[in-house]
Amino acid sequence: MHTGPAEAGATAHILRVGQDGRGRWMVQENHGLIEGLFVSREAALHFARLERHAFPGARVEMAAGPLVSTLAA
C-alpha cells in the first residue's frame, strides 16, 4: 500500500475506504482531492467506485486503519 509521496507510484490515485475513529465510513483520495462521509460501508464503496472515472488508473482500497479527516476542524 502506498502511504506517502516518497514511495514508488505515489502519483497514482488511491481511493481509500474505511472508518474514522468515531466509526463513520469515509472515502479519501490519497492526494487530498476527495473526502466524504457515508452512512454505510456499501455507500462508501459505491461512491469510491463511481469516482474512479475522475482519476484514470485509480484504484479502490480498504484502509488498513482508521482514517483521519483532513477537512474537519
Q: How many Å separate Cα 19 from the centre of its chain? A: 10
pLDDT of residue 4: 44
Q: Which residues of 11-30 are buried (b: 16+ CB within 10 A; e: fewer)?
A: eebbbbbbbbeeeebbbbbb
In this predicted model, what pLDDT tens digit does every residue of 21-38 receive, in sequence order? 999 999 999 999 999 999
Give this prediction's pTM. Answer: 0.80
